[in-house]
Amino acid sequence: MYSNEIRQLLNDLAWVDDISYYHSLRVGYLMSRFGEVDIGKQFVKQAWVTRNEFVAAGLLHDISKIRWPKEILLSGESLKDIEREMLLKVWGYMIEHPLVSEEIVMDYYKKTGNRFWERIAKGVVSHHENYSGGGYPYRLKGTEIPLLARGLRVFDHYVTDIEVRRHKNKSQDPGAVIKEMRSALGIHFDPYWGEKILDYLETISVLPGNLDEWFDEELKKNF
């Protein structure tokens, strides 16, 4: 029902930036796996979304990057290493990207009236909010943040840290990443669900080598 739209959006992302594309597939993959276990099913139920909406939020959380200029998208520097003018420009796109992702997803809701897209958008727009406040774009706090977004926040952060990115040519050890994230429970991450998700992530040894194949099967089977 939604496979064509999701595939087109991810194809567009792959065209402009394969790093962001594979990041989104990794997040979606881990969320799909989590949604298959009992604790993940409990999360999905409490978040008032379906399993497919949960996974789609992971796949589409950074879809706004299809609208980023190449000078921003393909920058190889970390934020701390670039000149002030460029830093402000990059940071502006960072702050706005959840809002633009929400806008792109909500366009499908406006066209179809299908609340599948609306529920995804509520998670996507808040996936950079911090549990203790101070995140963006709305500086929400605690349970003001939709549960879907609180879960997505954990998966997104974990994948970002274990990946090789343009500004870092070496991935971090997953165990070390999880340990560091545990220290931020109640600050950046939901203290209860963050811990449950991190417990689950400790059981994942490796990600699949062929994420494109997983993505194809996921769309055929579930969307």
Question: Phi, psi at residue 189, to the nearest 5°?
Answer: -120, 150
User: Is the four-CA dihedral 50, 60, 171, 214 of positive or negative sign?
Assistant: positive
Q: What is the mean pLDDT of the chain?
A: 91
Confidence of residue 142 (pLDDT cuts 50, 70, 90): very high
Phi, psi of 173 (to 5 degrees): -65, 130
Cα within 13 Å of Cα(137), Cβ side: 16
- The type of residue at 69 is P
Domains in the chain with CATH codes: 3-222 (1.10.3210.10)
Q: Is the pLDDT of residue 200 over 60?
A: yes
Token representation of residue 170? 């070496």
What phi and psi values does residue 165 have, to the nearest 5 degrees?
A: -120, 175
Query: Mean pLDDT across the stretch 73-80?
Result: 57
Classify 189 as helix, strand or coil: strand
pLDDT score recorded for residue 86: 57
C-alpha radius of gyration, the chain, whole number:
16
